[in-house]
Chains A and B, each alone.
Chain A
Amino acid sequence: MFYCLAEGVKIGETFMQALIGLAVVFAVLAVLIVVLQLFQRLFRLKFLNKNAAASQKSVSAPGTAAADSGASDELTAVISAAIAAYLADENADGDVGEPPFTLKNIR
């Protein structure tokens, strides 16, 4: 039987506790990474490419900006559907917009 310098503590138990401690630390780190990634997805934050994205934003077309910002296809579809529904409601209310030009009536 081996004993360490600390009185009454066996060497094998010390190793086990060290291993469990390391495992717990790495597990917590892994959970933190997952949580941070979830936050990243949730809030559309781009920690690593923040500066690069900001510089591109000013020169890209509106249509491409949405794609570059990481918006998913689902989100685009949802927004399109919402706009379509809004326009449909607008038309249903009888507001059909203005004609694109005005002609002179022949009297």
Chain B
Amino acid sequence: MGDNALLKKLTDELKEETKDVTALINAVADEKSFVEYDRFLRGDTPLGAAVGEGAVSGFCSVGGIDVGIFATNPAVLKGAIGKRNAQKIVKCVDNAVAAGNPVIGIYDTKGARLAEGIGALEGYGAVTAALSDAYGRVPVICVVKGASFGLSAYFAAVCDVCIGFDKSSLCTSSPLIISAKAGVDENKVGSAKIHAEKTGLYSITVKNERELAAALKNALNLLSVSVEGGNDDVNRVCKTLKGGVKAAALIKEIFDTGTFLELKPDFAPVVITGLARLNGIAVGVCATDSGYDGGRLTSNACVKIGELYNTCEAFGLPIVNLVDCAGAVEDIAEENSSLIREVGNVMYLSSQLTVGRAALVYGKAIGAGYTAFASKAAADYTLCWPDAQIGAVDSVKAAELLYRDEIAKAKNKAAALEKLAAAYAAENTAATAVCGEGYIDNIIEPQFSRGYLAAAVMSLAGKE
């Protein structure tokens, strides 16, 4: 067979074997921007030829941002990872990091090439090392397209944003094996719903390639473009804001219209985290919502917050904390689990962040809710609304502790408690009392929150 005929045969074979993966990459990449690495790489395995070594990698632009992108190919040896396709992936990641470009990895793989034995594990090690090296230096985005079983499941834990398809499955072993062992339905192991709600691994869940492309563009833009002009007036007065507002409504009013990208919306909903723009400046958003058990911190909520803080710190995004939090959750299961470690971790991170930190107390900031988000150690600039309550302990609880005898003697105990709690609040936890001590920078009218926070972010954006 002549060179041209062989080339045509190989090209046709490649087109056929990689058409789905290439179509997916082209669906998210800007038109005709994808350029492939090691296209004709080919291995011979006991199971047949590995066209393109079962992975497609290269570089392209997504929403105008240059990225390195790779995808395992389920059409070739079920997308299994071996030593050679691992090298193809590593090359893609290393080149992107060297150029300072984000990395997108798309996984649809049934696990390791068992025939390669330890060689496959070395391949995993090389990919893990490359992703770990990239993580924190450039934005790393993981996409779980179909199945991601075995060691490749761990790649989803080494990224800034993990996007999962709603029909995907992410599992350290075959869900069939694990479900059979546990005697449960296969769909209850490693499903998208599980990772969106229970494990919190999925930052965003998408239904199709169009949604994936939109999510990737949005995330890459917020992580890579620190300032981008918009049409939303920074001096816009938020007329609908007042005490008792929900966190979601507050976020919608304060940040530039249509820029908020919520991360992990179904995981630990007591805290809303995400990325947004405020007067065009990309920021991290962390809002506790008293609609869930008084906004009390759970260990999962703290994991969610910690991940956001790490991402913001890595890419220099100022953080805006919107606080309505009555402290840490009072629950025996949490207490005897990882609560102390995780709340402590958030306090550690918030005090060690070098990016600008602004906080608005729009409800309560009690105990850890104050120390972790709004204290001088956790925020460079702190604001509160006139009806905010800030203190070491909730006023009702404080009254119960301090005036136990007085309440016990009262004829109407509930009325006495209410009166004493109000008196305690006025003296100790009211905004005016706390500001008088110098702990809060300003008491502001709710409708001007956007302007004040924008001013804070603008002044803190260049903080080093």
Chain B's closest residue to A102 (CB) is: B235
Query: What mask results when residues 82 to 107 of chain A are scored 1 for a CB within 8 Å of chain B, else 0?
Result: 00000000000010110111111111
Query: Distance (Å) between the CB of B426 and the closest chain A CB?
Result: 16
Alpha-carbon separation in the docked complex, A104 to B237 (Å): 14
Query: Distance (Å) between the CB of B199 and the closest chain A CB?
Result: 38
Evaluate contact between A99 and B229: CB separation under 8 angstroms.
Answer: no
Evaluate contact between B239 and A103: CB separation under 8 angstroms.
Answer: no
Alpha-carbon separation in the docked complex, A101 to B239 (Å): 16
**Interface SS of chain A: helix, strand, loop or mixed?**
loop
B261 — which chain A residues lie within 8 A by C-beta? none
- Out of B227, B235, B445, B447, name the residue touching A103 (CB < 8 Å): B235
Determine the interface band of chain B, counting residues with CB < 8 A from chain A. Answer: 10 to 19
B448 interface residue, CB < 8 Å from A? yes
Evaluate contact between B451 and A103: CB separation under 8 angstroms.
Answer: yes
Alpha-carbon separation in the docked complex, A79 to B317 (Å): 48
**Interface SS of chain B: helix, strand, loop or mixed?**
loop
Evaluate contact between B235 and A99: CB separation under 8 angstroms.
Answer: yes
- Which of chain B's residues 225-258 have a Cβ closer than 8 Å to chain A? 227, 229-230, 233-235, 237, 239
B152 interface residue, CB < 8 Å from A? no
Contacts A96-B239, A99-B235, A101-B455; A106 near B447 (Cβ below 8 A) = no
Query: Distance (Å) between the CB of A7 and the closest chain B CB?
Result: 76
Evaluate contact between B229 and A96: CB separation under 8 angstroms.
Answer: no
Evaluate contact between B237 and A99: CB separation under 8 angstroms.
Answer: yes
Evaluate contact between B235 and A106: CB separation under 8 angstroms.
Answer: no
B171 interface residue, CB < 8 Å from A? no
B191 interface residue, CB < 8 Å from A? no
- Out of B233, B447, B454, B458, name the residue touching A96 (CB < 8 Å): B447
Most B-side CB within 10 Å, residue of A94, A96, A100: A96
Evaluate contact between B448 and A103: CB separation under 8 angstroms.
Answer: no
Alpha-carbon separation in the docked complex, A105 to B234 (Å): 6
- Which of chain B's residues 421-457 have a Cβ closer than 8 Å to chain A? 445, 447-448, 451, 454-455
B448 — which chain A residues lie within 8 A by C-beta? 99-100
B93 interface residue, CB < 8 Å from A? no
Alpha-carbon separation in the docked complex, A100 to B447 (Å): 11
Contacts A106-B280, A106-B281; A96 near B237 (Cβ below 8 A) = yes
B101 interface residue, CB < 8 Å from A? no
A101 — which chain B residues lie within 8 A by C-beta? 451, 455
Alpha-carbon separation in the docked complex, A81 to B247 (Å): 31
B447 — which chain A residues lie within 8 A by C-beta? 96-97
Alpha-carbon separation in the docked complex, A18 to B239 (Å): 78
- Which of chain B's residues 197-237 have a Cβ closer than 8 Å to chain A? 227, 229-230, 233-235, 237
B281 — which chain A residues lie within 8 A by C-beta? 106
Chain B's closest residue to A100 (CB) is: B448
Alpha-carbon separation in the docked complex, A86 to B367 (Å): 37
- Which of chain A's residues 32-57 have a Cβ closer than 8 Å to chain B? none
A100 — which chain B residues lie within 8 A by C-beta? 448
Contacts A105-B233, A105-B279, A106-B279; A99 near B227 (Cβ below 8 A) = no
Alpha-carbon separation in the docked complex, A106 to B235 (Å): 11
Evaluate contact between B279 and A103: CB separation under 8 angstroms.
Answer: yes
Evaluate contact between B229 and A97: CB separation under 8 angstroms.
Answer: no
Contacts A94-B239, A101-B455; A107 near B229 (Cβ below 8 A) = yes
B234 — which chain A residues lie within 8 A by C-beta? 103-106
Alpha-carbon separation in the docked complex, A96 to B253 (Å): 15
Contacts A96-B237, A96-B239; A103 near B455 (Cβ below 8 A) = yes
Chain B's closest residue to A94 (CB) is: B239
B230 — which chain A residues lie within 8 A by C-beta? 106
Alpha-carbon separation in the docked complex, A97 to B229 (Å): 27
Query: Distance (Å) between the CB of A84 and the closest chain B CB?
Result: 12
Evaluate contact between B454 and A103: CB separation under 8 angstroms.
Answer: yes
A99 — which chain B residues lie within 8 A by C-beta? 235, 237, 448, 451
Alpha-carbon separation in the docked complex, A96 to B445 (Å): 9
B279 — which chain A residues lie within 8 A by C-beta? 103, 105-106
Interface pairs (22), CB distance under 8 Å? A94-B239, A96-B237, A96-B239, A96-B445, A96-B447, A97-B445, A97-B447, A99-B235, A99-B237, A99-B448, A99-B451, A100-B448, A102-B235, A103-B234, A103-B451, A103-B455, A103-B458, A104-B234, A105-B233, A106-B280, A106-B281, A107-B229
15 extra interface residue pairs, beta carbon distance < 8 Å, beyond A103-B235, A105-B235: A97-B447, A99-B235, A99-B448, A101-B451, A102-B235, A103-B234, A103-B279, A103-B455, A105-B233, A105-B279, A105-B280, A106-B229, A106-B230, A106-B280, A107-B280
Residues of A within 8 A of B (CB): 94, 96-97, 99-107
